[in-house]
Structure 1
Amino acid sequence: MSPHISFRTASLADVRNLAALAIQVWLHTYAKDGIRHDISAYVLGEFTPKKFAALINNPQYRLLIAENKGHLIAYAMLDLAASNADLPSAELKTFYVQEAFTGQGIGKQLLAYVERNLNQQAYWLSVNSNNTRAIAFYAHQAFVQHGVTYFEFGGNQYENKVLVKHPKAIDIKHM
């Protein structure tokens, strides 16, 4: 990994970069057949600087970022009070790494930064069942499948795997 990678909590100065990166990663991951109306409406409505500012200002959420020489390359969004009685209260809602930086250990290091911010608290996430690269990454990071849920989009339901990481699976030596 490049020695210029740094990790920190996002600030209001980051909202435009967060919106741009979120759109880029989401489209690269899910718009495999190209752009259609519901896709463009979703990303342009969901990933806005205004929405990121609201998240940064809400103590329920924590946005953590990775930068390469001052350029945003990845981010994680935690919901510290996710509401699901069957799961831990902390949810990793978003974990995006810009495609040019995948496979370089940045995701693993950002996830370690997330875990330091959670103070050994168990947490969970959901990942599209067809996103085999992400599922393999999470399996290597000691996540276990807990069940399934569905993401509704464009009048369709998409199966997501619900994965959980327990405190005992977090390796303190790598923090």
Structure 2
Amino acid sequence: MIRKAEERDASSLAAVGIEVWVNTYLRDGVSPLFADYVLSEFTAQKFRNSIVDPDLAIWVSENRTGIDGFVTVCSTAAPPLADCSPMEITTLYVQPRHQAGGKGGALLRHALDHCRNMGGENVWLKVEAKNHRAIDFYLRHGFTRIGSTDFVIGDQAYENHVMRTNLRHPVD
């Protein structure tokens, strides 16, 4: 089931966020820099604030036990490239053991429908350049790579692809 996030979901969203982020990006162990980042970014309070923020929309995927994924859309993001709208999919996270069941596609469709309903012409996102599984997922769902930007943490920069899709054409 896909539904809008509610304030009561905040701690579950934080836990899923931590799980997916650590599983995806920390391939060689956990340094203090990354541990501090994760524990400061994925907090229940930050999710509570996001849920009530009028510029953000969050949908959750919920199974009989609890939340197993979520997607967040920002309607006022600073575009990283000239051809991007202010509509960004900031996160699309699904627990690894639930990734093959179509939950990511369902969450993405909700996000794209929201952007269309807001009058958007296109929506963009950033994905780590080494995250081939996510890149392939977005390519299959109508996104194209239009450039690059960096995710900077501490004194390190990590390449991210900027991908965009036209909202006038439905995603399969």
Confirm or deny: 8 A CA contact 2:115 2:167 kept in the other structure: no
Instruction: Kindly state the Cα deviation for residue 168 of structure 1 after the two structures are TM-superposed.
Output: 3.0
TM-score by length of 2: 0.92
Q: Secondary structure at the match of 1:126?
A: strand
Q: Does 1:127 align with 2:127?
A: yes
Aligned ranges for residues 69-148 of structure 1 at < 5 Å?
69-84=64-79, 86=82, 87-119=84-116, 121=120, 122-148=122-148
Could you say what the CA RMSD is over the residues aligned between the two structures, in angstroms?
Answer: 1.3
Aligned residue pairs total 167
3-state SS of 2:29 partner:
coil
Corresponding residue for residue 49 of structure 1:
44
How far did residue 110 of structure 1 move? 1.1
Cα distance, 1:162 vs. partner? Answer: 0.2
Residue ranges of structure 1 left out of the alignment (5+ in a row): 1-5
| Cα distance between partner residues in 1 of 2:167 and 2:20 | 29
Report the Cα offset of residue 130 of structure 1. Answer: 0.3
Residues 7-54 of structure 1: CA deviation (Å, up to 9, x unaligned): 111010000000000000000001111111011100100110111111
- After TM superposition, give the deviation of residue 131 of structure 1 in Å: 0.2
Q: TM-score, normalised by structure 1?
A: 0.91
Quick one: distance in 1 between partners of 2:97 and 2:154?
A: 28
Q: 1:116 Cα deviation (Å)?
A: 1.8
Query: Contact 2:88–2:125 (CA<8 Å) still a contact in 1?
Result: yes
* Percent of residue pairs bearing the same amino acid type: 32
Give the aligned residue type for 1:8.
Answer: R
Aligned to 2:157: 157
The secondary structure found in structure 1 opposite 2:163 is: strand
1:70 Cα deviation after fit? 4.6
CA distance in 2, matches of 1:57, 1:105: 27
Unaligned runs of 5+ in 2: none
Q: Give the 4+ runs in structure 1 shifted more than 4 A.
A: none
Mapped pair 1:20 → 2:15: yes
Correspondence for 1:33? 28
